[in-house]
Amino acid sequence: MTHVDSTLQQKRARRVLLLIAGIPVAMMLAATVLWWVVEAGYVDVVDRFGTANHGDLITPPRSVAETVFRHEGVAEVLWRDLPVKWRLLVVQRGETCDIVCQRQLYQTRQIHLALGKDFNRVDRVLLGDTAPDGVLLVGDERSQGDAAKPRSLAPWLAREHQGLTSLTLPPSMLEALVPEVSVSRAQWYVVDPAGWIMMRMSDELHYKDVISDLRFLLKHSGA
């Protein structure tokens, strides 16, 4: 091999090394540029490419990690002190849990069960402005008829929805946290493991679509 051939090979080797080293740098620069143009509003990624989710993303998401709740209407608890899990959040306002409230509790329970092997990665929360002991069930089958007596929500939850966590907030804080419920009660929320309310699910969604969204979130998260 001549000195010229050796020099050419060395130059080619350097170019290859520079190319290999430059690929990740170029990708980082491209990602930075893309983030900048999206953040600046020049490109609407969601509008252009669409999304695969069936629930509605909360934009921006709302953090509950540092919010102080009442647990079971008694002890104070920070959301971030709860076990790190995804959570299905049902909102109940006032002193009654009617058909809508009961249907959402049933729906989220069945969806939770349907997650199968991912069951333990998810919990359910009932968030209200009144402690469960002060809430009555109305409109259910057993309450029909003059002889039927109103039933307290707390023992019903303990029997029909074991494992569900009941949290309460003052009405004004609840309103600020989940304002959509004031417009339509027919929806509930998904909270990520870091304590961000990031998606809301309409009662009109087919349960298979909801499960599809949840499985996608669970698959692409580390928690």
Residues 6+ apart with CB under 8 A from 161: 105, 109, 124, 126
Q: Is there a cis peptide before residue 193, judged by omega within 30 degrees of 0?
A: no
Q: Are residues 15 and 118 in the same domain?
A: no
Predicted confidence at residue 151, as pLDDT, reads: 86
pLDDT in tens, 96-125: 999 999 999 999 999 999 999 999 999 999
Long-range contacts of 101-104 (CB under 8 A, 24+ apart): 102/137, 102/139, 102/140, 103/203, 104/188, 104/203
Q: Are residues 91 and 150 in the same domain?
A: yes
Q: Are residues 60 and 156 in the same domain?
A: yes
Per DSSP, the three-state class of 28 is: helix
pLDDT in tens, 137-158: 998 655 444 445 678 999 999 9
Confidence of residue 24 (pLDDT cuts 50, 70, 90): low
Predicted confidence at residue 128, as pLDDT, reads: 96
For the chain, list the strands marked E by DSSP.
56-63, 68-71, 75-78, 86-92, 96-97, 122-128, 136-137, 151-152, 165-168, 187-191, 196-202
Say what the pTM is: 0.73
Question: What is the token pair recorded at 204?
Answer: 């009109």
Q: Are residues 35 and 83 in the same domain?
A: no
CA dihedral (155, 161, 165, 171) in degrees, to 10, reads -70
Number of domains into which the chain is organized: 2
Please name the residue that has the structure tokens 């990708």: 27
Q: Burial code of 174-190, b = ≥16 C-beta within 10 A, e = fewer?
A: beebbeebeeebebbbb
pLDDT in tens, 71-81: 876 789 999 99
Question: What CATH number corresponds to the domain at position 123?
Answer: 3.40.30.10
Q: Are residues 118 and 165 in the same domain?
A: yes
Question: What is the token pair recorded at 156?
Answer: 């019903």
DSSP annotation of 161 reads: S
pLDDT in tens, 157-197: 999 999 999 999 999 999 999 999 999 999 999 999 999 99
Q: Are residues 117 and 57 in the same domain?
A: yes
Q: Are residues 139 and 168 in the same domain?
A: yes
Q: Are residues 81 and 146 in the same domain?
A: yes
Q: Are residues 66 and 131 in the same domain?
A: yes
Confidence of residue 23 (pLDDT cuts 50, 70, 90): low
| Rounded Cα gap, residues 192 and 189, in angstroms | 10
Q: Are residues 107 and 43 in the same domain?
A: no
> In the structure, how many helices (H) and strands (E) does the chain have?
7, 11
- State the first-to-last Cα distance of the chain, in angstroms, to the nearest integer: 58
Predicted confidence at residue 14, as pLDDT, reads: 72
Please say if the pLDDT value at position 22 is more than 70. Answer: no
80, amino acid identity: R
Which structural domain, as residue segments, surrounds residue 42? Answer: 3-47
Please say if the pLDDT value at position 47 is more than 60. Answer: no
Please say if the pLDDT value at position 215 is more than 70. Answer: yes
| Rounded Cα gap, residues 47 and 173, in angstroms | 32
Helix (H) or strand (E) segment spanning residue 173: helix 171-177
Q: What's the mean pLDDT when you consider all of the chain?
A: 83
Q: Are residues 129 and 80 in the same domain?
A: yes
Q: Are residues 102 and 210 in the same domain?
A: yes
Please say if the pLDDT value at position 61 is more than 60. Answer: yes
